[in-house]
């Protein structure tokens, strides 16, 4: 776990609060840059339009919306069709004073300039295709032609916009439709899924934690509060529910954590369609320190048992896979036991347990929801002696299916609370624990020493760097200063001698 | 099961529940929030509609999965801001380009 958190820390530092300031900086920066981006063209436009009438400014102010611009400028599109400007461009010579161009110029004397200024204002990126026309035209065509070309531009500008109008109806809004409908589905699913999860958790609580149920008979305090009326379940997030019980012999308390499917989350729900997962409940029983002998046992399905043996540290250190003893009833074939010794395994998996849950026949019937079971007096963390049970939750309707599994919990608390290792086994386990403790101590010391050495090395480096920086210029200055000081020290003495 | 005759309950030893403090590093990483921020930034910078929409969807997801109010809310609100800003610039703002791309 520690390794995990370490390896993730660079990523998490991005996401977690420390990175917040960075995000805000980025956010601020991008907002400012966007603002600048938006403001700059506007200010440029306004500067250009200072000399013109208010009507024209209005026109170009509205030109943000192409359709309204088309309404405001009715004359250009009919008069300046491509057929008009084409002959002029093909001639390229001095414009023949035909009847067409002159009335255009006279009728719209104010038009050409704003159009050209608007050209300067637009970014090249914005109209990638269009600005290629003017440079090819403008050097060759005289003033009267620029009017025509500039007038042809609004026509050009309007044409590509009027074209997409027709298919714009539905197909162009697919993204929006899909996203909005997904969001709506998401919101609906959030509430329904939330309710489903709550129902499931409540079904469990009403089955096992109400009056005259298993937990009520075994624990004096139920629920997360201090009083009896306190709520039984504590909700963490939308899919994690916790149930706490305390006040029983041999143990300090029991914490059941239900991790349900995230039904409230549509995305993970879709993901779970591909990769199915189960509703799980984990019981953690915190044993009293004097109530648990050296016991390290785990039971799980074969595959899981192997991975547990490799990955969980206390199993890794103390336990190994136990082969099924010959000539004795043993747990169902799918299951495997990881234990410190055969003796412990044999005592933990006794006749009653085999009868109730783990035997071949019983397991077929009741073992569906069993995931794993892990008892250890060497758990990592503050609470060392702990029993951990992991079961899969059935549907809300079939909650009774897991009654036998839940009944395992108080049974094992009593069994382990009373259990004492034989002296022979105890010496062995004592030895093993001593060894491990020494190893851990050594590792710790090594780690400390390394850390110390690193620190020293860093400090040395810092000092050296500082000296190196100082050395070149500062040394000279220092020397100069010292000289001056010495001179000063010498001077007053001289004075003293003079006066004295 | 084989519960003994005497009552196993011991009210005197009952301890009230103490929620174990969880270090913020141990919390599951909020991938959806991270994706939302990235999508939001991309959407706002390059005016990709889809990115902005994805940002909003993912920030909704991380909002739904939120556990720690204070820490997560900041990040999620930021992702939301980016997403909404991207959409605003796409649909309302900046005249010719926004309308042209639609």
**Using CB atoms, which residue from A31, A63, A247 is nearest to B10?**
A247
Restricting to A residues 18-77, those with a Cβ less than 8 Å away from any Cβ of B are 20, 23-24, 26-27, 30-31, 34, 38, 63-66
Q: What ranges do the domains of chain B cover?
A: 30-94
Tell me, yes or no, whether A114 and A159 share the same domain.
yes
Quick one: average pLDDT of A31-40?
66
Evaluate whether residue A297 is within a structural domain.
Answer: yes
The C-alpha atoms of residue A430 and residue A447 are separated, in whole angstroms, by 25
Residue A366 in any domain: the answer is yes
In A, which residues are within 8 Å of B12 by CB distance? 247
pLDDT score of A233: 86
Q: What is the pLDDT of residue A166?
A: 54
Q: Which of A400, A425, A450 is the last residue of a domain?
A: A425
Position A88 scores a pLDDT of 43
Q: What is the 3-state secondary structure (H, E, C) of chain A?
A: CHHHHHHHHHHHHHHCHHHHHHHHHHHHHHHHHHHHHHHHHHHHHHHHHHHCCHHHHHHHHHCCCHHHHHHHCCCHHHHCCHHHHHHHHHHCCCCCCCCCHHHHHHHCCCCHHHHHHHHHHCCCCCCCCHHHHHHHHCCCCCHHHHHHHHHHHHHHHHHHHHHHHCCCCCHHHHHHHHHHHHHHHHHHHHHHHHHHHHHHHHHHHHHHCCCCCHHHHHCCEECCCCCCCCCCEEEECCCEEEEEEEEECCEEEEEEEEECCCCCCHHHHHHHHHCCCCCEEEEEEEECHHHCCCCEEEEEEHHHHHHHHHHCHHHHHHCEEECCCCCCCCCCCCEEEEECCHHHHHHHCCHHHHHHHHCHHHHHHHHHHEEEEEEECCCCCCCCCEEEEEEECCCCCCHHHHHHHHHHHHHHHHHHHHCCCCHHHHHHHHHHHHHHHHHHHHHHHHHHHHHHHHHHHHHHHHHHHHHHHHHHHHHHHHHHHHHHHHHHHHHHHHHHHHHC
The encoded tokens of residue A295 equal 């016991």
pLDDT of residue A18: 46
pLDDT (0 to 100) of residue A486: 87
Closest partner residue to B65 among A11, A224, A265, by Cβ? Answer: A265
Q: What is the pLDDT of residues A457-482, one digit of tens each?
A: 999 999 999 888 877 788 888 889 99
A375 within domain boundaries: yes
Taking one residue from A and the other from B, the number of pairs with CB-CB distance under 8 angstroms is 161
- The whole-number pLDDT of residue A69 equals 44
Question: Which token pair is A157?
Answer: 């500008």
Least CA distance to B63: which residue of chain A?
A: A265
Q: Which residues in chain A touch residue B64, judged by CB atoms under 8 angstroms apart? A: 186, 190, 238, 264-265
Backbone angles phi, psi at A96, to 5 degrees: -70, 130
Domain boundary residue, one of A129, A147, A166: A166
The answer to whether the Cβ–Cβ distance between B61 and A186 falls below 8 Å is: yes
**Helices and strands, number each (H, E), in chain B:** 4, 0
Shared domain check, A158 and A259: no
Cα–Cα distance for residue pair A408/A390, rounded to 1 Å: 11
Answer yes or no: is pLDDT of A274 > 70. Answer: yes
Residue A299 lies in a domain: yes
Residue A277, pLDDT > 60, answer yes
Straight-line distance from the first to the last Cα atom of chain A, in angstroms, rounded to the nearest whole number: 81
pLDDT, residue A84, reads: 41
Give B72 to chain A, closest Cα distance, Å. Answer: 8
Taking residues A148-163, what's their average pLDDT?
Answer: 45
Provide, as residue numbers in chain B, all residues whose Cβ is less than 8 Å from the Cβ of A252: 13, 15
Q: How much is the pLDDT for A419?
A: 87
Residue A81: predicted pLDDT: 42
Task: Supply the pLDDT for residue A499.
Answer: 56
The residue among A399, A425, A451 that closes a domain is A425
Q: Give A160's pLDDT tier (boundaries 50, 70, 90).
A: very low
Residue A147 pLDDT exceeds 80: no
Whether residue A307 contacts residue A329, with contact meaning beta carbons closer than 8 Å, is answered with: no
Low-confidence winner among A179-188, A259-268, A422-431, B88-97 (lowest mean pLDDT):
B88-97
pLDDT in tens, A406-422: 888 989 999 988 888 88
The highest-confidence range among A24-28, A93-97, A399-403, by mean pLDDT, is A399-403
Does A99 reside within a domain? yes
Residues 346-365, chain A: which have Cβ within 8 Å of B?
A: 352, 356
Please tell me whether residues A219 and A368 are part of one structural domain.
yes
Q: Which of A5, A175, A268 sits opposite B49 (nearest CB)?
A: A175
- The whole-number average pLDDT for the span B43-56 is 87
Question: Using a CB-CB distance cutoff of 8 angstroms, which residues of chain A are in contact with residue B66?
Answer: 237
Distance CA B56, CA B78 (A): 11
Is the Cβ of B48 closer than 8 Å to some Cβ of chain A?
Answer: no
Specify which of A58-62, A133-137, A169-173, B97-101 reaches the highest per-range mean pLDDT.
A169-173
Give the best residue of A178, A220, A402 to mutate against chain B (max B CB count within 10 A): A220
In terms of domains, do A141 and A270 share one? no
Q: Mean pLDDT over residues B87-92, rounded?
A: 86
Chain B: closest CA distance from residue A267 (Å): 7
Are residue A158 and residue A280 in the same domain, yes or no?
no
**Nearest Cβ partner for A126 among B57, B74, B97:** B97
| Assessment of whether the complete model's pTM goes beyond 0.90 | no
Residues of chain A contacting B99 with CB distance shorter than 8 Å: 64-66, 161
This complex has an ipTM of 0.82
> Looking at the 3D structure of chain A, how many domains does it have?
2
Q: Provide the domain limits for residue A203.
A: 195-425
From chain B, pick out residues whose CB is under 8 angstroms from the CB of A27: 78, 81-82
pLDDT (mean) for B33-37: 88
Highest mean pLDDT: which range of A54-63, A284-293, A385-394: A385-394
Q: Which among A234, A247, A266 has CB closest to B14?
A: A247
Q: Are residues A120 and A234 in the same domain?
A: no
pLDDT of A498 higher than 60: no
Residue A73: pLDDT above 80? Answer: no
Averaged pLDDT of chain A: 74
Residue A104 scores a pLDDT above 50: no
In A, residues 89-148, which contact B (CB 8 Å cutoff)? 122, 126-127
Asked if A341 reaches chain B (Cβ–Cβ under 8 Å), the answer is no
């Amino acid at each position: 776990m520690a390794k995990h958190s370490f390896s993730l820390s660079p990523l998490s530092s991005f996401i977690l609060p420390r990175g917040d300031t960075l995000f805000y900086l980025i956010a601020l920066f991008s907002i400012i840059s966007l603002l600048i981006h938006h403001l700059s063209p506007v200010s440029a436009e306004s500067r250009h339009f200072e000399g013109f009438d208010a009507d024209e400014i209005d026109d170009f102010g509205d030109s943000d919306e192409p359709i309204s611009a088309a309404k405001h400028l009715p004359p250009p599109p009919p008069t300046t069709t491509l057929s008009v400007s084409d002959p002029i461009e093909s001639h390229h010579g001095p414009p023949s004073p035909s009847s067409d161009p002159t009335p255009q110029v006279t009728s719209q004397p104010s038009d050409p300039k704003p159009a050209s200024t608007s050209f300067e204002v637009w970014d090249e990126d914005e109209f990638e295709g269009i600005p290629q026309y003017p440079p090819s035209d403008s050097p060759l065509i005289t003033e009267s032609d620029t009017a025509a070309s500039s007038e042809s531009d609004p026509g050009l500008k309007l044409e590509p916009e009027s074209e997409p109008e027709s298919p714009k109806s539905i197909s162009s809004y697919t993204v929006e439709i899909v996203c909005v409908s997904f969001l709506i589905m998401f919101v609906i699913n959030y509430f329904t899924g939330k309710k489903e999860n709550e129902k499931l958790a409540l079904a469990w609580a009403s089955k096992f934690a109400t009056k005259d149920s298993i937990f009520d008979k075994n624990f004096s305090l139920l629920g997360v509060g201090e009083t009896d009326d306190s709520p039984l379940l504590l909700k963490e997030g939308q899919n994690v529910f916790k149930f706490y019980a305390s006040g029983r012999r041999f143990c300090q308390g029991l914490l059941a954590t239900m991790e349900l499917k995230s039904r409230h989350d549509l995305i993970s729900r879709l993901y779970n369609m591909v990769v199915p997962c189960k509703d799980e409940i984990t019981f953690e029983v915190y044993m009293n320190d004097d109530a648990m002998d050296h016991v390290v046992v785990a039971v799980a399905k074969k595959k899981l048992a192997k991975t547990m043996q490799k990955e969980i540290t206390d199993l890794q250190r103390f336990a190994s896979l136990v082969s099924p003893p010959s000539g004795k009833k043993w747990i169902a074939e799918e299951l495997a036991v990881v234990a410190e010794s055969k003796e412990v395994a044999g005592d933990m998996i006794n006749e009653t347990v085999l009868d109730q849950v783990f035997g071949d026949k019983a397991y077929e019937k009741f073992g569906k929801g069993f995931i794993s079971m892990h008892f250890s007096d060497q758990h990592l963390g503050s609470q060392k002696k702990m029993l951990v049970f992991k079961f899969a939750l059935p549907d809300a309707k079939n909650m009774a299916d897991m009654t036998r599994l839940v009944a395992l919990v108080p049974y094992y608390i009593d069994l382990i609370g009373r259990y004492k290792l034989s002296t022979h086994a105890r010496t062995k386990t004592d030895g093993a624990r001593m060894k491990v403790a020494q190893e851990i101590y050594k590792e710790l010391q090594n780690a400390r020493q390394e850390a110390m050495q690193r620190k020293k090395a860093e400090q040395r480096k810092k000092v050296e760097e500082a000296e190196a920086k100082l050395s070149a210029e500062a040394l000279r200055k220092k020397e100069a200063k010292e000289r001056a000081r010495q001179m000063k020290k010498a001077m007053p003495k001289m004075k003293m001698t003079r006066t004295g | 099961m084989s519960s003994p005759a005497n009552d196993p309950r011991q009210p005197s030893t009952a301890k009230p529940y103490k929620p174990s403090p969880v270090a913020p590093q141990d919390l599951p990483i909020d991938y959806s929030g991270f994706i939302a921020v990235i999508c939001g930034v991309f959407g706002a910078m390059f005016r990709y509609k889809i990115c902005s929409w994805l940002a909003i969807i993912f920030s909704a997801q991380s909002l739904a999965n939120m556990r720690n109010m204070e820490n997560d809310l900041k990040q999620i609100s930021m992702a939301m801001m980016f997403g909404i800003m991207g959409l605003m610039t796409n649909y309302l703002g900046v005249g010719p380009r926004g309308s042209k791309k639609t």
